[in-house]
């Protein structure tokens, strides 16, 4: 059930880890094992999202290619570093960054309704966000999808549905990159992954289908709800 709910939320606006990671921790998994197991199961759901968005023509592979490569490499570095460096400082900063995104989206009601001119060259955008957000996703993770979505809408000028598809592609890269490191460290519990993947695939298929049918309106509503919930969790629930 956690995999299904997480996959559904993740395919629309990201943030499925809000459901899956606390579930794994509540079952008694150590933090590193919970994070590695979550990366494994969420990667399968993200593959489904990317497949559906790609088949619908929402992903421009030449546009996303460099960001995908850099996210993959940077996430491996981030996942490696998390075994040596405390993420406490990020926990203090990230909620306020996410809260700023919530406020920005609320007061920009037409944000992402239609495509517009990019404010940043694609190569520079990919270099900047592929490395920083890729590393962040491997190192800590919460809010990565929200940061990617707002960046692609605000700086690349993508319409919200296209931005979500772009986000899923780079998220898949950073999930797989960090998963390699977690796997090498032995921090993946395969029996749990197998059960959660079944739910992930169902939830992701349903969620991606709703996005394709309802577009930006659905994404905006779920996006705000997920990011706000993430802010509350990080600020008050730890």
For residues 227 and 87, what is the distance between their CA atoms, to the nearest angstrom? 20
How confident is residue 88, by pLDDT bands cut at 50, 70 and 90? low
Q: Give the tokens for residue 68.
A: 């995908």
Q: Where are the domains of the chain?
A: 2-237
Q: Is the pLDDT of residue 83 over 70?
A: no
| C-beta contacts of 62-65 below 8 A and 24+ residues apart | 63/122, 63/166, 64/166, 64/169, 64/170
Q: How many CB atoms lie within 10 A of CB 182?
A: 23
How confident is residue 220, by pLDDT bands cut at 50, 70 and 90? confident
State the pTM of this model.
0.80
Q: How many residues does the chain have?
A: 238
Instruction: Name the DSSP letter for residue 14.
Output: S
Per-residue pLDDT averaged across 14-35, rounded? 79
pLDDT at 75: 95
- Closest to 68 measured CA to CA, from 181, 152, 155: 152
Axis crossing angle, helix 216-232 with helix 2-13, rounded to the nearest 10? 120
Q: Is the pLDDT of residue 207 over 90?
A: no
pLDDT at 115: 63
Average pLDDT, the chain: 83
The CA distances from residue 237 to 147, 191, 234, in Å, are 21, 28, 6
């Amino acid at each position: 059930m956690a995999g299904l709910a997480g996959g559904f939320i993740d395919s629309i606006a990201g943030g499925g880890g809000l459901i899956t990671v606390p579930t794994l921790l509540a079952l008694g998994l150590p933090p590193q094992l919970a994070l590695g197991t979550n990366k494994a199961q969420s990667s399968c759901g993200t593959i489904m999202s990317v497949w559906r968005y790609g088949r619908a023509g929402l992903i421009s592979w030449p546009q996303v290619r460099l960001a995908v490569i850099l996210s993959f490499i940077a996430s491996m570095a981030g996942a490696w570093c998390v075994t040596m460096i405390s993420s406490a400082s990020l926990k203090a900063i990230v909620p306020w960054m996410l809260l700023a995104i919530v406020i920005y989206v609320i007061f920009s009601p037409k944000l992402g309704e239609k495509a517009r001119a990019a404010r940043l060259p694609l190569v520079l955008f990919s270099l900047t966000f592929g490395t920083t957000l890729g590393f962040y996703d491997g190192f800590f993770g919460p809010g990565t999808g929200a940061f990617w979505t707002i960046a692609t809408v605000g700086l690349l000028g993508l319409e919200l549905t296209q931005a979500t598809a772009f986000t899923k592609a780079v998220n898949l890269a950073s999930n797989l990159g960090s998963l390699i490191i977690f796997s090498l460290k032995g921090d993946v519990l395969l029996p749990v992954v197998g059960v959660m993947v079944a739910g992930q695939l169902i939830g992701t298929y349903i969620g991606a289908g709703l996005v394709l049918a309802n577009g930006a309106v659905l994404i905006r509503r779920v996006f705000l709800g997920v990011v706000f919930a993430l802010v509350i969790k990080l600020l008050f629930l730890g």
